[in-house]
Amino acid sequence: MPVHLFVGLGNPGRTYEKTRHNLGFMVLDRLAERWGGRFKPGFGPYDFLQTKTPTGKILLVKPSTFMNRSGEAVQDAVRRYEVPLSGLIVICDDFNLPLGALRLRPKGSDGGHNGLASVIQALGTSDFGRLRLGIGLRPGAGTVDYVLSRFPRKEQAAVETLVEDGADALIAAAENGFEWAMNRYNRGNIE
Residues with catalytic annotation?
A: 21
Q: What share of the chain is helix, strand, coil (3-state, %, to 5)?
A: 45, 25, 35
CA distance 29 to 14: 14
Listed residue (48, 54, 69, 66) closest to 6, CA to CA: 48
Please list the residues that pair with 41 across neighbouring strands. 47
Helical segments of 60-128, H only: 70-80, 114-123
**Contact between residue 22 and residue 16 where contact means Cβ atoms under 8 Å apart:** yes
